[in-house]
């Protein structure tokens, strides 16, 4: 599996609020055998999750999901860490869930943290650092790997227009998902197995994480045009209500084809690297990373639950910024060349000095041995 398969999901005409466009995704039939359930978490939303190798992932976690594959359909989906009081008390201890995805003891249910599962995969990208003792890297980098990494994200309620758009959004019969655009740039996707799950979880979109680029587009982008359809009575083609209904459906189909071929192309056509996190009966939970290719195309990270045929039962994605794509691209190239800066420069078609500059711009400059790097730059300049 290298791509996202949305077989069984159909697009409906978008609804627009200012610069926010919400595109409904509907299923003719719900996915059998899987539901997402709901539970409320008490206490503070700060959490630190141990991910192995002595490292931990720390974040504000607004809600979690529980996947239930018992087939009873009694569970709903997990949502709602609540912040209490006014301001965090000093020295507040953090909660420590054991894993990003954890099976409930004695039950056929799995608790996982939406989007955080994907973000952990991005932050852990080549976290071990240099595997070869090259002089360019400091002893700290060789001993401990990359320093703790942090990425900025914005809660949905801080994205201008999003909360109001979600509040007035009209749900469609059979709706199991949504594609969310800001300034007509895809910001996020969300798919669940059953319409009842989506109806329950739709409000959680305002608590989700959104990337820096999405936040900027919402602030500075202009309002987007609404979906419109014009049916012309050419050559007396519209005579009855049935004719009008058929013409309207044809307009909807034309819009859906245009949407799938243009607006959501980068999400659906990108070849991803999938990592299976958990197997749940005939369903598999994955997180995925893009190829980190330069060139201006949208790139997303996310998580996915597929059935035995590879069709999407659950999907949640996060749009990376250009800076995050560049950082992932640089880390991939460094790892491909065993973290040798000279060979990495050759592979990138640039100079040693430029590779050093990119490493520093990515926030990894402290891992370099400044004395050795300065000496090599002088040697290159003299040569």
Give me the sign of the Cα torsion angle 54, 59, 64, 65.
negative
Mean pLDDT is lowest, of 145-149, 250-254, 328-332, for 145-149
328 Ramachandran zone, left/alpha/beta (phi>0; psi -120 to 50): alpha
Tens-place pLDDT, residues 249-285: 887 777 777 676 567 788 888 999 998 888 888 889 8
CA 190/CA 179 separation, integer angstroms = 7
More confident residue, 114 or 268: 268
pLDDT of 142 reads 75
Q: How far apart are CA 66 and CA 76, in angstroms?
A: 8
- Least confident stretch, 4-13, 127-136, 154-163, 369-378: 127-136
Structure confidence at residue 76 (pLDDT): 39
CA separation for the pair 35, 216 (Å, rounded): 35
pLDDT at 234: 58
Which of 44-53, 126-135, 226-235 is predicted most confidently? 126-135
Q: What single-letter DSSP state applies at residue 374?
A: H
The whole-number pLDDT of residue 251 equals: 79
The whole-angstrom separation of Cα 329 and Cα 42 is 39
Given a contact cutoff of 8 angstroms between Cβ atoms, the answer to whether 117 and 277 are in contact is yes
Residue 274, pLDDT score: 92
Question: What DSSP assignment string belongs to 105-163?
Answer: TTSSEEEE-TTHHHHHHHHTTTTT--SS--TTB-HHHHHH-SPP-----EEGGGSTTHH
The 10s digit of each residue's pLDDT in 224-256 is 887 676 777 655 677 888 888 888 888 777 777
In contact, 166 and 201? CB cutoff 8 Å: no
More confident residue, 95 or 379: 379
Where residue 299 falls among pLDDT bands split at 50, 70, 90? Answer: very high
- Listed range (15-29, 245-259, 364-378) with the worst mean pLDDT: 245-259
H/E stretch holding 266 reads helix 265-269
Q: Compute the radius of gyration of the chain from its Cα atoms.
A: 24
Strands 20-27 and 175-182 come out as antiparallel
What is the pTM assigned to this prediction?
A: 0.78
């Amino acid at each position: 599996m290298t791509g996202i398969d949305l077989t069984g999901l159909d697009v409906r005409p978008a609804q627009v609020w200012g610069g926010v466009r919400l595109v409904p995704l509907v299923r003719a039939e719900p996915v059998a055998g899987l539901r997402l359930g709901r539970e409320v978490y008490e206490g503070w939303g700060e959490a630190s999750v141990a991910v192995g190798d002595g490292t931990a992932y720390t974040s504000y976690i607004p809600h979690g999901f529980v996947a239930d594959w018992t087939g009873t359909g009694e569970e709903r989906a997990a949502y709602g860490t609540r912040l209490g009081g006014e301001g965090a008390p000093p020295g507040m201890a953090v909660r420590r869930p054991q894993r990003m995805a954890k099976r409930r003891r004695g039950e056929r249910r799995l608790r996982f943290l939406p989007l955080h599962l994907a973000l952990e995969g991005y932050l852990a990208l080549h976290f071990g650092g240099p595997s070869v003792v090259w002089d360019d890297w400091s002893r700290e980098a060789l001993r401990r790997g990359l320093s703790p990494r942090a990425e900025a994200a914005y809660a949905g309620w801080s994205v201008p227009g999003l909360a109001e758009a979600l509040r007035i959004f009209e749900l469609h019969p059979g709706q199991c998902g949504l594609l969310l655009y800001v300034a007509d740039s895809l910001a996020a996707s969300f798919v669940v197995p059953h319409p009842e799950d989506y109806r329950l979880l739709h409000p959680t979109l305002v608590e989700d994480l959104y990337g820096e680029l999405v936040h900027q587009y919402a602030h500075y982008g202009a309002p987007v045009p609404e979906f419109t359809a014009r049916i012309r009575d050419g050559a007396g083609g519209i005579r009855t209500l049935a004719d009008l209904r058929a013409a309207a459906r044809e307009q909807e189909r034309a819009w859906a084809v245009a949407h799938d071929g243009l607006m959501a192309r980068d999400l659906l056509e990108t070849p991803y690297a999938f990592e299976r996190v958990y197997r749940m009966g005939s369903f598999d939970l994955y997180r995925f990373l893009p190829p980190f290719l330069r060139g201006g195309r949208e790139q997303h990270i996310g998580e996915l639950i597929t059935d035995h045929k590879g069709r999407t039962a659950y999907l949640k994605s996060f749009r990376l910024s250009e800076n995050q794509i560049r950082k992932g691209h640089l880390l991939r190239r460094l790892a491909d060349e065993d973290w040798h800066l000279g060979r990495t420069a050759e592979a990138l078609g640039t100079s040693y000095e430029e590779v050093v500059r990119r490493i520093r711009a990515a926030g990894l400059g402290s891992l370099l041995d400044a004395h050795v790097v300065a000496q090599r730059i002088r040697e290159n300049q003299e040569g």
